[in-house]
Chain A
Amino acid sequence: LAKTTQPISMDSYEGQEVNITCSHNNIATNDYITWYQQFPSQGPRFIIQGYKTKVTNEVASLFIPADRKSSTLSLPRVSLSDTAVYYCLVGEAYNTDKLIFGTGTRLQVFP
């Protein structure tokens, strides 16, 4: 399974756009890129998943360049409630029998 590298932490202010980049140099042909969000003392929550180019949903956008060796989670106009840890995972589409979480990126949003 491909290893991922993310920044340990990021700070932002309310209303700003936040971009969190994940590096996954050894991504395999069949691998998808999935992002989860986790609030303190809660389980992770699926945010978005993609294979290539761009995916957008009501919460976020995911940008994946042609070589797929990295990806960027974009959160538009963050609010205080977006303060959380964000995990980038690489593997089969859902892969629930072997979700491999790294240490994630701790996003702190300030007023």
Chain B
Amino acid sequence: ETGVTQSPTHLIKTRGQQVTLRCSSQSGHNTVSWYQQALGQGPQFIFQYYREEENGRGNFPPRFSGLQFPNYSSELNVNALELDDSALYLCASSSGPQAEAFFGQGTRLTVV
């Protein structure tokens, strides 16, 4: 157990819909990073939030957006879902952008 919790654990959405995934960071952590992991692939960095501000972004389109709250929990929002968005979405929290990251168990999103 890392203390990083994600909800929901599983989700099925229809193409074109919007989805919000949630992450509660480990106590004392102010940094949250989001990753997308397609089946059989390694996790791909989406973006990172540090003290409520975006602190780096990977090669993902603007329909992937995020938010970090004052308690450092975070949301990942994906608009206009596409079939290729089906993946395991992982959240990792750390005590800073250059500190060890602890991953949650992920949210399995299926787009049909």
Contacts and interface: CB of A to CB of B under 8 A. Distances in A.
Contact of A96 (B40, B97, B108): B97
A80 interface: no
Contact of A104 (B2, B33, B42, B106): B42
A45 B43 CA distance: 12
B2, B103, B104: which has the most chain A beta carbons within 10 Å? B103
Contacts of A94: 94, 98-101
B104 A96 contact: no
Given A44-B103, A87-B42, 8 more contacts: A44-B43, A92-B98, A94-B94, A96-B100, A97-B56, A99-B33, A99-B92, A99-B101
Interface of A: 41-46, 87, 92-104
The 9 closest A-B pairs by CB, nearest first: A43-B103, A101-B42, A97-B56, A96-B101, A97-B48, A43-B90, A101-B43, A96-B94, A97-B97
